[in-house]
Amino acid sequence: MSKLFEPGTVAIVTGAARGIGRAIAVELACEGCNVVVNCRTSNEAAAETLRQVEAQGVRGLIVEADVSAADEAKALVDAAIAEFGHVDVLVNNAGITADGLLATMTPEDFNRVLQVNLGGTFNCMKAATRPMMRAKHGAIVNISSVVGVAGNAGQANYAASKAGIIGLTKSAAKELARKKVRVNAVAPGFIATDMTNAMTDQAKERTVANIGLGAIGQAQDIAHAVAFLASDKASYITGQVLRVDGGLII
């Protein structure tokens, strides 16, 4: 069966040591991409992602970078180009939560979540955009959240960051379309990862009760959508937000 990507396609996935990021990295590798596995600090989890990427018969590279720092995001893109010569796909997946009710949320928790989720996405997009524009070719997929569409009590900072990613995605899509660089977002619903494992069983049950398809999603569900949007199969799609949520919000 033919793969989604031409051999030699290069993809950067941020926050790829575990969870959804790892699933995206492995899926892109499986579909033919060489993959740059970004992690904030290199560890055994990142090494495991790299092993799974290379097991698909493509090349991989771990690059340590805190995407919330502009110079580190730039160094990440530079490292990818130094190793592979070009960057075709950027997936902004790195994200954090620091939940709390608005009345008690500290400015530090608000700012940090914005800085990593929205700022990190901006930093990496800014760094990757110039080489993609020059090549008149590229696809960026940003990981938002259904919470960025609908809001969520206790997640004002996170929801603001994910809503911001949608605005950033649409604006960049308008700016870059003429340069043949596509920018889309995927908005996951409730996906089984370390991030959601932190929720209480009661909160999980309440959420599942609202999911039309009646089950928690898997990281692989997000990875499939990302691979599609990053590939030429989506060559006429830009500026869109694809919700992958089992019908949580219809």
Residues 6+ apart with CB under 8 A from 184: 139, 140, 141, 142, 169, 173, 229, 234, 237, 238, 239, 240, 241, 242
Q: Which stretch binds ligand NAI (CB under 6 A): 9-17, 29-37, 200-208, 235-243?
A: 9-17
Alpha helix stretches (DSSP H) within the chain: 19-30, 44-54, 70-84, 107-113, 120-135, 146-150, 156-176, 194-197, 201-209, 219-230
Check residue 66 for interaction with ligand NAI (CB under 6 A). yes
Q: Which of 13, 20, 118, 183 touches ligand NAI (CB under 6 A)?
A: 20
Query: By the 8 A CB rule, do 26 and 53 touch?
Result: yes
Q: Are strands 60-64 and 138-143 parallel, antiparallel or unpaired?
A: unpaired
Residue 101 Cβ vs ligand NAI, minimum distance, rounded to whole Å: 19
The binding track of 31-60 with respect to ligand NAI, each residue x by CB under 6 A or -, is: -------x-x--------------------
> What is the separation of C-alpha 158 from the centre of its chain, rounded to a whole number of angstroms?
15
Q: Which of 67, 113, 166, 225 touches ligand NAI (CB under 6 A)?
A: 67
The binding track of 130-159 with respect to ligand NAI, each residue x by CB under 6 A or -, is: -------------x-x--------------
State both tokens at 33.
């991409």
Residue (135 or 199) nearer to ligand NAI, CB:
199
Q: Which residues bind ligand NAI (CB under 6 A)?
A: 14-15, 17-21, 38, 40, 66-68, 93-96, 116, 120, 143, 145, 188, 190-191, 193-196
